[in-house]
Every structure is written in C-alpha cells, then in structure tokens.
Amino acid sequence: MSAPQAAAFPCPGCGAPLTVRAPGRSEAVACEFCGSVADAQDPAHKLLSRYTSAMTFTPLIGLGTRGVLRGEKWECIGFMRRAVRYYGVDYAWGEYLLHNPLKGFRWLTESDGHWMFYETLTEPPGKAPP
C-alpha cells in the first residue's frame, strides 16, 4: 500500500493553490495568503472560515519541508504560533506538526532556539511499576 499523495486545489477565498498534505487525515487547510480556511475533506473544498488578520510570523520550517529527524523521514504539514502572557510579559513559541504516513504525527516545538520533539499520547500514561 502506498501513501496517499498530497492533493492540491484552488483557495475558495483567493484562488491561490492550496495543498492537502495528509489526504484523508487533514480536516481543514488554511491559506497563507488570504487567511481562508477550507474544508479538506469536502470534494468542493467549501470555505469554513476566514481569519481577519494575516500571519505576521514566518515559520522557521516551511510547510511542505521534508527532512530526517532521529532516523525517520518527516514532512512539516502544519504550524501554529502560540503565546502566553505571564505577569504582563508575553512568551511565544512555535509548534510544527510533522507527518510520516507510516509513523503518524509528531510535534516539533521551538522556543527561543530550544527545540522539543514529542508525540501526543492517545491514552493516559500508565502507572509506574511499584
């Protein structure tokens, strides 16, 4: 069985080419140009929502970038810029969603040049043996 290939379609907001990087598993695709969010699973790719402000941060790893990390091949298919305000100071970080058709999804987080690589658990961790 081969991995599904990325599928492309025009953005319903501006017509720019959008790519579904994990076909069958992606629910939505955001347009980097106009902020529209399109339904990745609907054959007509209907418009789900529109962000009013454009992204102002350039990700350190571009969407679609492929590389090897810890001996496995990964493709960066998503990015979020997040922040918290603590006693009036904003602390921001970036979270990159990585995908490998055989391994699933992992997160690569960057904060002030420090990187963390992790996998989301689908079950609570078990108790440590006595």
- In the complex, the residues that contact Zn ion under the rule CB under 5 A are 11, 13-14, 16, 31, 33-34, 36
36 vs 97, beta carbon nearer Zn ion: 36
DSSP string, 66-111: EEEETTEEEEEEEEEEEEEEETTEEEEEEEEEEEETTTEEEEEEEE
Q: How far is the CB of 88 from Zn ion (least distance, A)?
A: 35
Q: How far is the CB of 4 from Zn ion (least distance, A)?
A: 23
- Tell me the C-alpha distance between 76 and 99, whole Å: 6
Q: How far is the CB of 27 from Zn ion (least distance, A)?
A: 17
- Tell me the C-alpha distance between 63 and 79, whole Å: 8
33 vs 107, beta carbon nearer Zn ion: 33
Backbone φ and ψ for 53, nearest 5 degrees, come out as: -120, 140
- Asked if residues 74 and 68 have their Cβ atoms less than 8 Å apart, the reply is yes
36 vs 59, beta carbon nearer Zn ion: 36
Q: How far is the CB of 96 from Zn ion (least distance, A)?
A: 21
- Tell me the C-alpha distance between 47 and 120, whole Å: 29
26 vs 36, beta carbon nearer Zn ion: 36
